[in-house]
Chain A
Amino acid sequence: MRIRPACTILVTLALAACAHHPADEPADPLEPVNRAVWSFNHTADQYVLKPVAQGYVDVTPDWAREGISNFFGNLTYPTTIVNDFLQAKFKQGVADTGRFVVNSTYGVGGLIDVGERVGLHRHDEDFGQTLGYWGVGEGWFLMLPLLGPSDNRDLIGRGFDSFTTPTRYLPGRYDLPNYAVTLGLYTINLRANLLPSDSLMESQFDTYLFIRTAYLQHRQALVYDGNPPPEDLGLSDIDDSDSAKPKAGDKPAPAK
């Protein structure tokens, strides 16, 4: 009980710090800490998670992995539905409810994505996006131990989303074997789906900056359901001899 007021204060503080910053110049006051956490995460990944995920891909057939992916996608789908409604996307909320019902029943508990085949497409909503939708900025960029990139807004969102994940309400969820198996499989599946982008990651100058910029842009795009306002590529900063440009990077002018 005593934890409540502390949480409220923390959440209020975190939200107060939430202004929107461009992805290439975000608020990252914790950068030294974030970098340390990132290198820890990266090492843990290289030695444990990645080999396990690679092994998982090697020993399971495609259709099985697709089933597992679908299953977890469906299991956490109530979060999407709740946040559809919280963002006043009522039509989408109704469609997503239909999708959840269809996949949980005809789709054998979510293993088969029947919804996709009948035109009930998957949406991606969570509480971090809901906050963004109503104008809350992302605040500071954060690198969480083992959980990866986040920001003030999405960290709060994550906490809230745990209440809309059905497994939370299953009896015996914290019994060790159940918990370990679900969390393990969930994580391995998540990591396995990311394996193809590893070579892209390794070819960056600075993987921390790459993750940071990509994460913030990706989240911004999700808030706008895939149609974010175009990024200001910062032509205003250049302002070289061929002056007489339109003002402050509102639109990059064609090169000569």
Chain B
Amino acid sequence: MIQQTTRRVFLCLGLGLSVGAAVADATPAQGADAAVKSTTEQIRVLIRQHHDEYKANQAKFYQAVNDVVVPRFDVPYIAKLVLSKNYRTATPDQRTHFANAFKDMLLHSYANAMLDNYDSAKIDWMPARLSDDKSEAAVNSTVKRDNGQTYAIGFRVHAVDGDWKIYDITVENVSLVLNFKTQIDAEIKRSSLDEVIARMEQGQYKPANPEVSKQAPSKGG
């Protein structure tokens, strides 16, 4: 009886240790909050330094965002979450195409907002909340705009190859992934995945903001 219990304890301990080791391996050294914060700061500093240049040369700004911000995101994983059920039936080629088109679409939609508002908001960061296995974290922040309005912005991140990568953003607790997932699923049902990808690549989905649409590279209406 005692022997059995002892054996069980050792077994559990052993398991615990091996799990512990795996976790230590997977959890990045840098804190999740620090990772998200540093990316945000990097792009803000860049915009501050090159604001007029970026305003004049949009391609250059997209390049900067591509270099600094995009690597912080787990694009393939986001594409997978957004495609959801449709991911299963998609070919590897479609998956890659979709991921790229989706990323570019977001880039074109949000980069301009970033360029216009980078200095009119103050961000308060809250400490990251880690999941039990420490492979995931939620980083929450409060963005306070000059006009006094505040927004709760949250980042959901997970560990990939020793670094934290964002896979969802919530604005006032509204998840972007969930939102796009619903919409894209409906679009695919109406036409087809290929058509949705083609339309995204042609820039047919874009902000109505006239200033943005004028400058965004687009062929379709």
Contacts and interface: CB of A to CB of B under 8 A. Distances in A.
Interface in A201-216: 202-206, 209-210, 212-214
A170 B31 CA distance: 55
B172 A218 contact: yes
Interface residues of B, number: 47
A238 B86 CA distance: 8
Interface residues of A, number: 40
A210 B179 contact: yes
Contact of B84 (A196, A206, A238, A251): A238
B220 interface: no
Nearest to B175: A231
Nearest to A217: B174
A255 B26 CA distance: 12
Contacts of B209: 199, 202-203
A24 B181 contact: yes
Name, among B74, B135, B183, the residue most crowded by chain A CB atoms within 10 Å (CB to CB): B183
A148 interface: no
Nearest to B159: A254
A169 B138 CA distance: 45
Contacts of A252: 81, 136, 158, 167
Given A209-B186, A240-B87, A252-B81, A203 B175 contact: no
Given A24-B181, A214-B179, A231-B178, 16 more contacts: A23-B182, A198-B208, A199-B208, A204-B179, A204-B183, A209-B186, A217-B174, A230-B138, A230-B156, A233-B181, A235-B80, A237-B85, A238-B88, A240-B87, A255-B76, A255-B160
In the A-B complex, the 4 residue pairs with the smallest Cβ-Cβ separation, listed nearest first, are: A202-B208, A221-B173, A203-B207, A205-B183
